[in-house]
Structure 1
Amino acid sequence: MNIQKLNVFITLVETRKMTDTAKLLGLSTPTVSFHVKSLEEDYDIKLFRTNAGGYRLTDGGEMLYHYAKQLSQTNSALEKSVEDYKNGEKGSIKLGASGVPAQLFMPELIHQLAERYPRIKVSLDVKTAPEIEKRLLLQELDCGLVMETGNKEADLVYEPITSDKIVLAFSKIHSFAGKTALAENDLYDQTLLVHRLSSSTGRFSKSWLQEKKLKMEMIQLDSVSTIIKMLSYGKAVALISKRLIEKEDHLSYIEFQNQDLERQIHFVYHRNLWISSPFRYFQELVLGLKEDIQ
């Protein structure tokens, strides 16, 4: 179905004059005539009977005009919906984040996105970095903020945003409060809170314990916020994001001299993703974090 032919036909029906139709559509009169004849050939019917009063429809033309008008209106609605979608007036954006970036950045980013595009649906999936990467690969999510895992998928684009460091955190009422360094035997009778071992922080905690040959009681938790809450009781320690701990007045931490504890936070998306206006705006917000953080 050629929409342009139908629009020429509809306009000619409504103006009844070839010259007026050509002027309205920005076409030449021979082009208008060509489209009408082509439409008659397509359906093998006569559409107009011409006389001194202009172009008037045959019975077949009346029938075609009835349906052509509906098709034209549907096409206009489709084009507007697509344009609205591209401009962020409709549609959705599905975000993902691993635990630390979700708490550090997502609330403000989503707020700004919703302010700019109030009509689109925004969702956030908070899981471990490997799980977010897997969903991005399947294009079940549009983009995500994740802590680096050491592996990069070839089909994903990774844009570094900032770095973070893992520190040993504890409450200001804990026995470690006030200390700037620890002996290894200080940790033997401590309970270590760990974000689940499938997370990047959890995997690091496990390898760190093995490297130090430390045997500590370990409690795995799914929520970073739960770890922070449990630290406040002063009965446990945790290997956790320095940026998160710095926001908590009731907690303190000790840094270890180990470059392996420095990790990058990446903005990640599939390289074949269609870039919508809301996505492009969200990307600008995320990349703007670099300047704000520095």
Structure 2
Amino acid sequence: MNIQKLNVFISLVETRKMTDTAKLLGLSTPTVSFHIKSLEEDYGIKLFRTNAGGYRLTDAGEMLYHYAKQLSQTNQALEKSVADYKNGEKGALKLGASGVPAQLFMPELIHQLAESYPKVKVSLDVKTAPDIERRLLLQELDCGLIMETGNKEQDLIYEPVTSDKIVLAFSKEHSFNGKNILEENDLYNQTLLVHRLSSSTGRFSQSWLQEKKLRMEMIQLDSVSTIIKMLSYGKAVALISKRLIENETHLSYIEFQNQDLERQIHFVYHCNLWMSGPFQYFKELVTNLRES
């Protein structure tokens, strides 16, 4: 199996243009063409049909692309692991987290990991849950803590850690302070702060507004900490994690009696991931978090 041929093939599938593939891989156009023809000869199948829109896959090409992508990702993970060990005893652990778990759990978990494995290079990528899932599928990250998205990728393993609830939060200076129940008309003309709509909380906020048929001005923010800061001014409300704000003394909140507001936080990793010592230790830390 020639990984270089497969990588050329994958690139041509995704760019659909021979010249773009050549530029991307630092090859000449004839070299790209040679690799594709060689791959077709190896398997005895035609991989592409060409038209004005560029290179498009045949049915056989679709099948090969499916498996070639998996082989390429596995090879990248292998090369990364070998490189980590060739660099000495350091190794690396690439973590991902969506906004809420990143703030709630990652600082303590990374601290404990660093205490036990001081030579391991640890990195944390904080993105929306779908972004973390995508990077885990590509094996660009080793594992992650994410809020449930409603979808589960077939090649990822999801282990429940704990639950969280979305509440309506506001400043203690806000007119809602002291109320236990809100009528729907109380929410009209309020400004709702929401995490970016691509996040799980952001998508929920949007669907919640549509379900309640509420017209509220929305301000999208990339940072949960910025939302908490803006709430303190007393001019807005936010649908946000209860865990994040229940210890904020300047804020108050109302819980809605709705089971849909309960969400799971999952520990996620690829089913083909090789579990190094640091990874297994981190997994134990997460398990302890779940049990506590």
> TM-score normalised to the size of structure 2?
0.70
Aligned to 1:91: 91
Distance 2:271 2:247 in 1: 34
Structure 1 residues 100-115: aligned runs within 5 Å = 100-115=100-115
Distance 1:153 1:241 in 2: 24
Aligned to 2:211: 211
Deviations 1:33-80 (A, max 9, x none): xxxxxxxxxxxxxxxxxxxxxxxxxxxxxxxxxxxxxxxxxxxxxxxx
Deviations 1:216-259 (A, max 9, x none): 00000000000000001111000000100112111110000110
Distance 2:85 2:241 in 1: 37
Q: CA RMSD in A?
A: 1.6
- The letter of the residue matching 1:189 is N
SS in 1 for 2:256: coil
Q: Aligned-pair distance for 1:85? A: 4.2
* Structure 2 unmatched ranges of 5 or more: 1-80
Structure number with greater Rg is 1
Deviations 1:234-285 (A, max 9, x none): 1100000010011211111000011000000000000000100000000000
Aligned to 1:183: 183
Aligned to 2:269: 269
Aligned to 2:232: 232
SS in 1 for 2:266: strand
Point out 4+ residue stretches in structure 1 off by more than 3 angstroms. none
> TM-score normalised to the size of structure 1?
0.70
Distance 1:286 1:247 in 2: 22
- In the alignment, structure 1 residue 166 sits paired with structure 2 residue 176: no
Aligned to 2:41: none
Distance 2:240 2:283 in 1: 27
SS in 2 for 1:243: helix
Q: Aligned-pair distance for 1:179? A: 0.6
Count of paired positions: 210
* Structure 1 unmatched ranges of 5 or more: 1-80
Distance 1:218 1:229 in 2: 16
Structure 1 residues 121-200: aligned runs within 5 Å = 121-200=121-200
Distance 1:255 1:111 in 2: 32
* Percent of paired sites with the same residue: 86
For the 8 Å contact 1:193–1:221, the answer to whether it is kept is yes
Distance 2:85 2:93 in 1: 11
Deviations 1:141-180 (A, max 9, x none): 0000000000000000000000000000001111111110
